[in-house]
Structure 1
């Protein structure tokens, strides 16, 4: 629309990757040099990662377009959750080898014959796997095995893996040690700095014949960088709208004011997570972006061949529900389970007259609170999720970063109250800051103790700071009473996880359907003593052989009418295969099925006689809410971890507890009235009344008092 008006020969800011628009920033130049170096080496793997929209695909297409076809036979595969067999077929198809109807052995043989022929003709084969973060561990292992093909002393196939930052995390797992030894170089594409952002925009404009019409003033470039964080795709999105806006306004000038107005409009249309997703200065959260956006990542290659992620103080805001966020209830969460509780509470608080919307705050990254895919459309969500994106590090350094970011949020949001849904160090840091600022502080899941004082320090401090404490069961009241907490501050409303189960349990997949889909018999569902659901997972590199053998043999030795259903992740299956237990399991009473989704696992849990989980506590909270006995096996647990009820270090003890739990049956409900699916409603009603009684002007206290860092 605007191209002819400005005299352009084409669209300068199209979103589709186009090598003709390739911009040689410092980061892209370095990455391209790595790729060319890899082509020159002709062996091993090169790993290139970058955030969404950083220009990875354009980079790859630029490389492929510059290759000498007489020297290199290149093929590209875009991975979309490919397993090893599918990946082999995709590779054969990319190289022009017809894979139809062939077994895996035939696929490998055909591919090896093709690669040998390529090498015999004096050429080299190059495979580029894009979106490689979606590959399974088994598929990556298949790529490693393909790298073993040789003709004399020369490798027949070289591979480049290109993907999002999740690829780096995947390759850092212990089971990938052999693969990492084949990585000859890796790099990460970071965002553009201010000077590069300007040069990038001018470069794309000049490619279509720009003659300074429209004119971009200096401040406009600064605003564009501030709003986009230097991410090329976001720059394209914004600049495309800027040119359209200038055309519609019949102006030949792009000013800072136009950039600001346009960016705000776009943020309202698509949400901050899709447009302004990273802000480097937490001191101006919720305001317009700060003067300097996130700096480019220039990590050196570590010993493992995979780049390390530095600590970050970026802020990510997602899932704006369309309602104004004014003086909200700020929920501090630290895990998927605590976030699910915040979702349940947000739904009920929205029905309570007079209560403001709920905002969930997580000190880590968005990936740390990722809900299972099926729950995205089931659970109600808070009005806004805020992720400080502060990476793990030394406690003092991380606490300082959390405190600075949280202080800025208090200034901006002026919350009506702060609710501690979690209990990690970051939650405690934020709760202390809220208490110092005079904000009403509520503690959910109060009174829980492990029995080991050193492990309870966060819980004890949070309970002492809170003005209102909400507990799951009455037995915790005596614990709080002994610690000097006044009884009028403590209220038993039940477990918020029950609220989420009332929403999700009716949608859970029936166990019969799950087992049949996995090709497994449903005999476990008919066992007289029921079945034990196992969510334990193991790393093939770090798990001791005796732990696996003791566990499997213990399962087999259980009573004849008690069976085991074990959804296994790929790493766990590798671990069992590695010690020779994989085939044996198939002939035992253990139904080892592929890892399942949340709603499928929940369906299995509802009918289980006992849950045996690991250090991650998968489904433990749901199990307790459903009154199902839960045993947690943490081999090598610390004294503090082992002090938590239900946690054991030895396989033999864990199996004994499982047997006792099955014999005893489900736990009786101590307070039946509190397990009716209404804990969130009771909490919301009490909070409304409590805040009214408090009668504190939070906005005045925070706004006039300035920073809480004093």
Structure 2
């Protein structure tokens, strides 16, 4: 569409690999040199890895296109989710061999006869296996056995394995020792840097006759790299849309603003809240079968790059385990970016990406860390999960060499990673130290161990100092800076929806409610099949019996509605002072919380920490045996007791909230300032010739 408008001879950013568009970056040039060396050797295996979209297939096709067909007979296998027998058939098909039979022995005999004939004619056979990370160990072993075919003293078959980084992990296994001895060279394709990204874009444009129309300003190239992470396929996707956008907008210029707008539109179209990109070491090649591969996280791990163009060497790694802890890491990252002496902030989550996902609206409000790493570990058994998490985190320590690790969460993954950092000599900082629920053998066990591991402990309030003192933590390691939730609220509250606007969305919610009227906000939720009828009945009837001037606002999930309908209480909700609202997002519920007289929460403590930071009284109705939070006097197990506490809290005058004009940066600023000075001292003591400030 836009090609003729700009005078191009073709599409410059097509996704299909095309050797005519091959770009000779440092990494690709090195990899191509190793491949050509391998062809010259005519034996063994060469392993080429790279992230999705890094240009592996284009590289291989460039190599194959430059081969002398009179000397080399080349074949390529792409579909590798095959067992060893199926792989043999695929290889025969790729070489154009008609097998003499269907058994494995007959397939091998047909292939050996073909390879012998090729060698007898003075040519060599080359097999390229693409997407090799999908091969089973048995299939790789089959390839190794094929490398044993010889005519006199010359190998009949040479193989190149091309795949994603997890291929290296596969080849590290003990069962692959014999195979690794046959690898004569290996190389890895990393992303392009900022300068190479610009050269890549201009190279592809010139291939189709670009005459600086449309023009790209310097900042546009920086934004392209920032949004794509230097991955060629992502660059192609974004630049294709940029040219289309310039054409539709009748513009002859691609600006940084257009890049940002287009990238955000594309991100929303595919349902991403962040740019997902792999961050690798600079492209490097290693020769020799005994070389160790580059560190790589497991294939299922996800890396979300939010801030490109910053150094990710020696960052501060924040360990998170929940949306709340991740939000606090975002708040800390926002303030630490103001400290020129502090490195970038990276978060590590041992669980699923969804376990720490921000509420949708906050993704546009909160500044993000430079990089998020989600291991995607599954399973609840401590032993197997800890092994997986520790192996991945150890690789992250090797790759990033963090200046410090900050434990914001406290689950088993956070504990395991903190221990690994401590053993590796990396300083461990403990946020929210000293918080206890009163169960030292249950919920508190991880918190106690984390506090003992930490080199520096940051507490939310002075009362926790005594807890740490009783447990033998030296006072000079403990610093009271406040709750990171205050920073989060400073960022989120200005974007929160007005309570009146939210209530006006439904007629029932707006009836008779004046701006000065108070209400109880309820975030307690129930499961339809597991909730006792008397609990629901006592709760609803208690709400109805509250004073006439005190309403109940209940953002209700579908499961809770179903539970109430199941026991016949749905009509009570519709015809009483209880206003049940549906489909509210985080910022809408935060707006309601600001005006509430009291919050009634459940076991998940939804909005409880935000309420305490805002000075809103909190009551939690929790199941018997459910641990309370540190210093939480309002956690009860009986409905009547919970309702009594709600009534008392709603009758009290709320403390005055902090004025935004007096905001001093809050706990995160104090933490960042201390961490900047403390890390410099630690680093200078260990590396006097190369500190963080050098």
Shift of 1:277: 6.7
How far is 1:13 from its partner?
5.5
The Cα offsets for residues 41-78 of structure 1, whole Å up to 9 and x where unpaired, read as xxxxxxxxxxx99xxxxxxxxxxxxxxxxxxxxxxxxx
Q: Tell me how many residue pairs correspond in the alignment.
A: 475
2:328 paired with 1:367: no
Secondary structure, counterpart of 1:547 in structure 2:
helix
Q: Is the 8 A contact 1:494 1:679 kept in 2?
A: yes
Structure 1 pair 274–652 and aligned structure 2 pair: CA distance change class (3 A): closer
Change (3 A) 1:598 1:641: closer
Q: What is the rounded CA distance, in whole Å, between the counterparts of 1:699 and 1:356 in structure 2? A: 16
* Structure 2 partner of 1:518: 506
Match of residue 578 from structure 1: 566
**Superposed displacement of residue 590, structure 1:** 0.5
Aligned position for 2:306:
320
Give, in angstroms, the shift of residue 381 of structure 1.
0.1
Aligned residue among 320, 325, 345 for 1:358: 345
Equivalent positions of 1:632-651 (< 5 A) are 632-638=620-626, 645-651=633-639
Superimposed CA distance per residue, residues 95-149 of structure 1 (whole angstroms, 9 cap, x where no aligned partner): xxxxxxxxxxxxxxxxxxxxxxxxxxxxxxxxxxxxxxxxxxxxxxxxxxxxxxx
Corresponding residue for 2:189? none
* CA-CA distance at 1:437 after TM superposition: 1.1
Q: For structure 2, list consecutive stretches of 5 or more residues without a partner in the other structure.
A: 4-13, 18-51, 54-77, 97-124, 133-160, 168-199, 209-228, 239-262, 286-291, 689-694
List aligned pairs for 1:655-694, cutoff 5 A: 655-666=643-654, 677-694=665-682
Matched, 1:218 2:204: no
> Take 2:418 and 2:512, find their aligned partners in 1: how far apart are those partners?
46
TM-score in terms of structure 2 length = 0.59
Q: TM-score, normalised by structure 1?
A: 0.58
Q: Deviations over 1:348-379 (max 9, x none)?
A: 11110210000011011111111111111110
* Structure 2 residue aligned with 1:265: 232
Question: Is 2:388 aligned against 1:478?
Answer: no
CA RMSD of aligned residues (A): 5.0
SS of the residue 1:693 aligns to = helix
456-465 or 644-653, which deviates more: 644-653
Q: Following TM superposition, by how much is the alpha carbon of 1:470 offset from its aligned partner in structure 2, in angstroms?
A: 0.7
* SS of residue matched to 1:218: strand
Post-superposition offset of 1:628: 1.2
Match of 1:401 in 2: 388
Q: Which residue does 2:614 correspond to in 1?
A: 626
Between the aligned partners of 2:92 and 2:486, the Cα distance in structure 1 is 56
Partner of 1:348 in structure 2? 335
Counterparts of 1:291 and 1:219, CA distance in 2: 19
Q: Structure 1 pair 520/432, CA: closer, same or farther in 2 (3 Å)?
A: same
Partners of 2:372 and 2:319 lie apart in 1 by 10
How far residue 647 of structure 1 moved from its aligned partner, in angstroms, is 2.4
Determine helix, strand or coil for the equivalent of 1:517.
coil
State the secondary structure of the residue aligned to 1:686: helix
Distance 1:531 1:547 in 2: 21
**Does structure 1 retain, via aligned residues, the 8 Å contact 2:131–2:163?**
yes
1:386-437 Cα deviation digits (max 9, x unpaired):
0011013211111111111111111111000000011111101111111111
1:565-604 correspondence runs (5 A): 565-604=553-592
Q: Is 2:321 the partner of 1:334?
A: yes
Q: Please show how residues 92-131 of structure 1 align to structure 2 within 5 Å.
A: none
Q: 1:468 is matched with which residue: 453, 456, 461?
A: 456
Tell me, yes or no, if the aligned pair for 1:313 and 1:390 is still in contact at 8 Å. Answer: no
Specify the SS of the correspondent of 1:499: helix
Which deviations, in whole Å up to 9, do the C-alpha atoms of 1:668-703 show, x marking residues without a partner? 899x99985511111000001111121358799xxx
Q: Partner of 2:111 in structure 1? A: none
SS at match of 2:307: coil
**Helix, strand or coil at the partner of 2:438:** coil
Distance in 1 (alpha carbons) for counterparts of 2:362 and 2:90: 40
Q: Which residue matches 1:488? A: 476
Asked if the contact 1:529–1:609 (Cα under 8 Å) also holds between the matched residues in 2, the reply is: no
| Secondary structure at 1:616 match in 2 | coil
Q: Report if the CA contact (8 A) 2:601-2:619 is conserved.
A: yes
Is the alpha carbon distance of 1:576 and 1:353 closer, same or farther for their aligned partners in structure 2, counting shifts above 3 Å?
same
| Structure of greater Rg | 2
The alpha-carbon deviation at position 504 of structure 1 amounts to 0.9
Contact 1:421 1:444 in 2 (8 A): yes
Residues 1:413 and 2:400 are matched in the alignment: yes
Task: Give yes or no for contact 1:505–1:603 (8 Å, CA) kept in 2.
Answer: yes
Give matches, 1:428-577, under 5 Å. 428-454=415-441, 455-523=443-511, 525-526=513-514, 530-577=518-565
Distance 2:503 2:345 in 1: 39
Distance 1:406 1:245 in 2: 38
Q: Take 2:328 and 2:478, find their aligned partners in 1: how far apart are those partners?
A: 19
Q: Do the aligned residues in 2 keep the contact of 1:524 with 1:531 (CA within 8 Å)? A: no
In 2, the alpha carbon distance for the partners of 1:576 and 1:328 equals 49
1:468-504 deviations in Å (ceiling 9; x for gaps): 1111111111111111111111111111111111111
Task: For 1:274 and 1:523, locate their aligned partners in 2 and report how far apart those are by CA, in whole Å.
Answer: 37
Cα offset, 1:508, TM superposition: 0.8
Alpha carbons of structure 1 residues 532 and 618: separation in structure 2 relative to 1, 3 Å: same
Kindly provide the CA deviation profile for residues 304-330 of structure 1, in whole angstroms up to 9, marking residues without a partner as x. Answer: xxxxxxxx8721101331122111000
- The answer for the alignment partner of 1:381 in structure 2 is 368
The structure-2 alpha-carbon separation of the partners of 1:278 and 1:349, relative to structure 1 and needing over 3 Å to count, comes to closer
- SS at 1:359 equivalent: strand
